[in-house]
Amino acid sequence: MSRDFLRKVWSLIYEDREGGDAAAARIGGKVATELTLVDIGFIYGAAIDLSEGQSFGHAQRVAYIAQEMAVGLEMNEDEIADITLAALFHDLGLISVTHELTELSSSPETELLVNHARDEVEDLTSQVRTGNIQKVAELFIQHVLNGAETAEGLPLTPEVVRLIRGHHEHYDGSGYPDGLRGDDIPLTQRVLTAADCLETAIAGAGERGHTPEFVRAEALQLSGKQIDQITSRGLVDATQNVRFWGIFTGGQLGKQLISRLPQERVAVTYSEIATFLDQLIFQVDGKSPYRQHHSWNVARHCYQISLELGLAEDLSSALGMAGLLHDVGKAGVSNQILDKPKWLTGPEYELAKKHISHTLKVLSYGSGLFNDLSDWISGHHERLDGSGYPNRLKGDQLSQEVRIISTADVYDALISDRPYRKGLDASAAVRFMEGKVNRYFDPEVLGALGAVIGSSVAD
Ligand SMILES: [Fe+2]
Ligand SMILES: [Fe+2]
Ligand SMILES: [Fe+2]
Ligand SMILES: [Fe+2]
C-alpha cells in the first residue's frame, strides 16, 4: 500500500514540475484512502512547530482545545471543522519570515516566536536586543498575511484562510493584522486565539499546566485582552473533565479530531496531497536563500539515478519521495545556523545534525506510509568509509537506496552557493565526487549520476 501511495503522489509532483503524464492526471482526481486532511495537517503542523521552537505537537493540541471549545459553545458542524483545520495550519506563514527575522533581530528566531501567540507587536519587538524594530514588527504582521496567501493556494476553504489570517487579532484591539476589536472579531476566531494562547502557556508550564486550575488562571488573564468573557468561559468549560486531559496528553489526538469532522471535510485527493507536500517542501527549502529548490533537485536526481540503474518504477518513485522529504526537518534548524556565513562550531554542527531526527518525527505522522523511507532518509549523511552521521554506518551497511540519496544530496550541495563559497559547475562537482569514490560514494551510483547529468546537459 505504501509503495502504491508513494508512486501516485510522486507521479503527480513529478508531472507538475516536469510536465506531461496522462496517467498522473487520472490518479489526481481520486480520493486517497490512505491519508486524511487531518493527517496532512499533523505533518504540516509538526514542521511549522519545529520552525518556531514550539513543543512537538503544538498545532494538533491547539486543534483539540479549539475543537472541544467549539463543541461546548454549540457551534455548527462547519464551524467546528473550520476551526479544527485552521488550528492545524495556523502558523503556515511563519517559515517564510524566519530568515529575515534572524537577520534583523540578532536573537534566535525561536526565542521570538515560541510565545508569540499572546503578544502584541510591541511585546514582540521589545524582546529584540538589537536591530530594526519597525521591520521586525512588520515581519510579524507579514507572517499572518503570508500564511493566508499560502493557504489560498492550498485546498482549504475561504473560512479556514480567514481564520489563519486573523489568528492574532485581539479582543481589546491590540492584535494584528487589522487591529479588529470586540465583536468585530468572530467567535470562531476568538476560539482559535484562545486555544493557541492556552496551549503555549501549558507547554511552557510543563506538568503544572495540565490542570483545570491552571487553565482557569490563564483564562482569567486572557479575558478582556486577547479574548472576551464568553471565550474565556469556553476555555474553562472545555478543560474541566478528566476525559479532556486523558486525550490531551495521550497519543490519539488524530482519531479524536476526525471523529467530530464530516467525511467530506477530511477527504483529500492524491493531487491535493501532492500539492500540500510540495508546498511544505517549497517553504522549508525557502527558509534559507542557500537552500532554494534543494529538496526538489535531490528528489529529481534520486528518481532519475534509480531509473538509470534499472530499478523498478515503484522503487524509483519511492526514492524520489525520499529525496523530496529528506530535509523537511531543516524547518527545525535555526536560521542562525542555516545562514551562517562561516563554518559551524561544534555545538552548532550538532544542532544542524538533528535535522535527521526532526525529519523522521514529522514523517511519523504519515500513518506508516513513509516508514519505508525512514532508513534511507536517516542514512543520507552516511559515507562508505564510516565517516558520516548519525550512525557512522560503513560499507555494506549502506543500502543501495542510501547510496543513491547521499550521492544526489552531496551533488546538489556542491553545485549550490553556500554562505561561505560559490557553487561548482556540474562537471567540476562530479570530478570532485569522483575523487571520493569508494571512500564516500558508490562508483555505480556515481556513474549513473554522471549519465543523468550528461543527458540533461545534452538536452
Ligand atoms: Fe502566529
Ligand atoms: Fe501557535
Ligand atoms: Fe540533510
Ligand atoms: Fe540535503
Taking the CA atoms of residue 44, residue 49, residue 51 and residue 53 in that order, the dihedral angle to the nearest 10 degrees is -170
The pLDDT, as a whole number, for residue 260 is 96
- Ligand 3 centroid to 148 CA: how many Å? 29
Residue 171 is given by DSSP the state: T
In angstroms, the Cα distances linking 336 to 52, 103, 226, 329 are 13, 8, 31, 15
- Ligand 2 centroid to 287 CA: how many Å? 18
- Ligand 1 centroid to 338 CA: how many Å? 22
- Ligand 3 centroid to 76 CA: how many Å? 44
Cell numbers standing for residue 319: 526514492
- Ligand 2 centroid to 196 CA: how many Å? 5
The pLDDT, as a whole number, for residue 428 is 93
- Ligand 1 centroid to 164 CA: how many Å? 8
- Ligand 4 centroid to 285 CA: how many Å? 10
- Ligand 2 centroid to 90 CA: how many Å? 7
Residue 157 is given by DSSP the state: -
Cell numbers standing for residue 129: 536586543
Ligand closest to CA 167: 1
Q: CA angle 269-275-279, nearest 5°?
A: 155
The pLDDT, as a whole number, for residue 24 is 81
Q: At what angle do helices 294-308 and 313-325 cross, to 10 degrees?
A: 160
For residue 115, the SS3 value is coil
Ligand closest to CA 285: 4
In angstroms, the Cα distances linking 205 to 144, 335, 341 are 26, 26, 36
Burial of 190 (0-12, 13-18, 19+ CB in 10 A): buried
Element (H, E) at 136: helix 133-152
Residue 391 is given by DSSP the state: S
Cell numbers standing for residue 57: 505537537
- Ligand 3 centroid to 280 CA: how many Å? 16
- Ligand 3 centroid to 455 CA: how many Å? 26
> Domains, the chain, ranges and CATH?
36-266 (1.10.3210.10), 270-458 (1.10.3210.10)
Q: At what angle do helices 2-18 and 371-378 cross, to 10 degrees?
A: 70
- Ligand 1 centroid to 365 CA: how many Å? 22
Ligand closest to CA 96: 1
The pLDDT, as a whole number, for residue 455 is 63
- Ligand 2 centroid to 114 CA: how many Å? 8
Classify the phi-psi angles of 74: left when phi > 0, otherwise alpha if psi is within -120 to 50, otherwise beta.
left
What letter represents residue 34's amino acid?
E
- Rg (alpha carbons) of the chain, rounded to whole number: 23
pTM recorded for the entire structure? 0.94
Q: What is the spatial distance between Cα 115 and Cα 58, in angstroms, rounded to a whole number?
A: 12
- Ligand 1 centroid to 137 CA: how many Å? 13
- Ligand 3 centroid to 355 CA: how many Å? 7
Q: Per-residue pLDDT tens, the chain, 459 aa: give them.
A: 799 999 999 999 999 998 877 778 789 989 999 999 999 999 999 999 999 888 889 999 999 999 999 999 999 999 999 999 999 999 999 999 999 888 887 777 887 788 888 887 777 767 666 667 788 889 999 999 999 999 999 999 999 999 999 999 999 999 999 999 999 999 999 999 999 999 999 999 988 999 999 999 999 999 999 999 999 999 999 999 999 999 999 988 999 999 999 999 999 999 999 999 999 999 999 998 878 899 999 999 999 999 999 999 999 999 999 999 999 999 999 998 988 888 899 999 999 999 999 999 999 999 999 999 999 999 999 999 999 999 999 999 999 999 999 999 999 999 998 877 889 999 999 999 999 999 999 999 999 999 999 865 544
